[in-house]
Amino acid sequence: MSGQRLKDRVVMIIGAGSIDAGWGNGKAAAVQAAREGARVFAVDINAEAAQETVDLIRNEGFEASAHQADATDSAAVESMVNACVRTYGGVDVMHNNIGIVELGGPVELEESAWQRALDINLTSPFLTCKHVLPVMERQGRGVILITGSIAGIRYTGVPYVSYSATKAAVAQLCQSVALQYASRGIRANCILPGLMDTPMIYQGLNEGYSASSQQEMVDKRNAQCPTGHMGDAWDVAHAMVFLASDEAKYITGQNLVVDGGLTAKIH
């Protein structure tokens, strides 16, 4: 189903590819934005993954361009923003969706893994804000969206201290940007997914759930949710479209929790 809530908006999605087959949050967000009338600038560190998303969008008759970039590299991010401006004339919405999970508490986690999580989960949103905000300020409008996690506000039972810490920091980064730029026509909000059934969870989360198989891990995650099942990438995509649209024009500096009620039951 398509609509026009993002008609003629330029939407840059960082992490628009999927780590594996299926629908990751960024991939679904890119496709849904296009269905809502946006021109999508799809960015991923994996050029083929970005192009796959663009091909899906174009096959549905919508407009999109692919761009390869390492969003932890400041020069690459600056070049990415400039390429979007050259292609579409500006950036109306920037959605940073990249993130990794490194299992382990403070004792078990290697320092190199801690730093990697910081670089990807926190430095990347900082850099994308750093380079896209001047464009939005010149335009006199813009929307910053960052994908966080309920792990940044609750302990969900999995020992991944670097993930929890960086996702908590992302929410505060977003709020700081929102308040600094509120008078300049720029909004910033954070989307906090709960337990979602996306390709990322099949990349080594079994150990975190003390599960002997992927199916056991999936069953445990489903059982945690008040709904009896995990959400999916489209739940995040629809939240992104709402926050990017004029329907949310008076919403800024907020965390939108998309978790099927999970955090309401965790105290």
Active site residue 160: no
Residue keyed to tokens 């600056």: 78
pTM for the full predicted model: 0.94
Confidence of residue 82 (pLDDT cuts 50, 70, 90): very high
Q: What is the pLDDT of residues 203-242, one digit of tens each?
A: 878 778 888 888 999 999 999 999 999 999 999 999 999 9
Looking up tokens 């500096």, which residue turns up? 253
* Cα gap 236→231, rounded to integer Å: 9
Domain count, the chain: 1
Residues 6+ apart with CB under 8 A from 31: 53, 56, 57, 60, 237
Pick from 82, 85, 97: nearest CA to 10 = 85
Of these residues, 163, 181, 209, 250, which one is catalytic? 163
Has residue 5 been placed in a domain? no
Is 73 part of any domain? yes
Q: Which residues are paired to 66 by β-bridges?
A: 42
Q: Which range of residues forms the domain containing residue 28?
A: 10-259
In a domain, 33, yes or no: yes
61: domain CATH number is: 3.40.50.720
